[in-house]
């Protein structure tokens, strides 16, 4: 995939093996381009163009924009629904008899309760698998460290939501060099693409392709 913008001379090659870092030094332009890419990923208008094999791609359908790292929304309703659907598909494909046995045991338990209850009860003969997951509090395992939470977030968005590209704002401020290298390695294994938008240049790492827009609005290949 390729990412271009009408204001930029360079075109960014998006690949799991390349980490693009765009450093924008002027504060007003940093805000401008962050706002613009976020707006497009949210379905609005802008001048960023994502393409693959000369076909224009919709950023809102394949990209995620993140600038707040204090709380990742991993287990929001949309994600939980997709997780439950994924688990239900696995259960129906590989563990159908186990699921039927559980349902039978639940029904037998309810019949025993009905026999002992002073108030007769009625119930269905099938157990909704998603309700079973919800009853046991099934959620995405997040981890404790920031890096673990970040990787869990990316896996969820990639595997469950089909997102291919991740745009992060000032991410290098929050991770050590060792953590960044581990992140880049894991992202390559996930076959996803990450694009970092930074407002301060930090030491370049081996996987990074860095372009700086300096205060004179000149593009510099670092």
152-169 pLDDT per residue, tens: 899 989 988 889 999 999
Is a pLDDT exceeding 80 seen at residue 53? yes
Give the residues across from 209 on adjacent strands.
Answer: 20
Phi-psi region of 143 (alpha: psi -120 to 50; beta: other; left: phi over 0): left
Please give the full DSSP string across 53-91, using - where no structure is assigned: TTEEE-HHHHEEEE---S----S-HHHHHHHHHHHHHHH
197-218 pLDDT per residue, tens: 999 999 999 999 999 999 999 9
pLDDT for 37: 96
Query: Could you tell me where the DSSP H helices lie in 95-128?
Result: 96-116
| Interatomic CA distance for residues 210 and 220, integer angstroms | 8
85-131 pLDDT per residue, tens: 899 999 989 999 998 898 888 889 989 999 988 888 888 877 788 88
pTM value is 0.84
Query: Which residue would you say has higher pLDDT here, 40 or 80?
Result: 40
Average pLDDT, the chain: 91
17-37 pLDDT per residue, tens: 999 999 999 999 999 999 999
């Amino acid at each position: 995939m390729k990412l271009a913008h009408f204001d930029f001379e360079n075109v960014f090659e998006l690949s799991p093996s390349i980490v693009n870092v765009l450093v924008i030094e002027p504060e007003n332009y940093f805000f401008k381009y962050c706002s613009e890419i976020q707006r497009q990923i949210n379905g609005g208008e802008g001048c960023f163009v994502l393409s693959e094999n000369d076909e224009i791609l919709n950023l809102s359908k394949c990209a995620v924009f993140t600038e707040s790292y204090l709380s990742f929304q991993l287990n929001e309703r949309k994600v939980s629904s997709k997780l439950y659907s994924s688990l239900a598909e696995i259960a129906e494909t590989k563990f159908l008899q186990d699921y039927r046995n559980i349902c039978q045991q639940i029904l037998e338990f309810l019949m025993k309760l009905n026999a002992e209850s002073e108030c007769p009860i009625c119930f269905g003969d099938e157990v909704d698998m998603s309700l079973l997951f919800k009853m046991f509090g099934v959620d995405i395992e997040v981890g404790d460290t920031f890096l673990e939470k970040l990787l869990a977030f990316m896996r969820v968005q990639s595997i469950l939501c089909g997102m291919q590209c991740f745009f992060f704002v000032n991410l290098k401020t929050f991770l050590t060099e060792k953590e960044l290298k581990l992140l880049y390695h894991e992202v390559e294994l996930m076959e996803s693409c990450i694009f970092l938008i930074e407002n301060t240049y930090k030491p370049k790492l081996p996987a990074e392709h860095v372009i700086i827009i300096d205060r004179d609005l000149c593009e510099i290949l670092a």
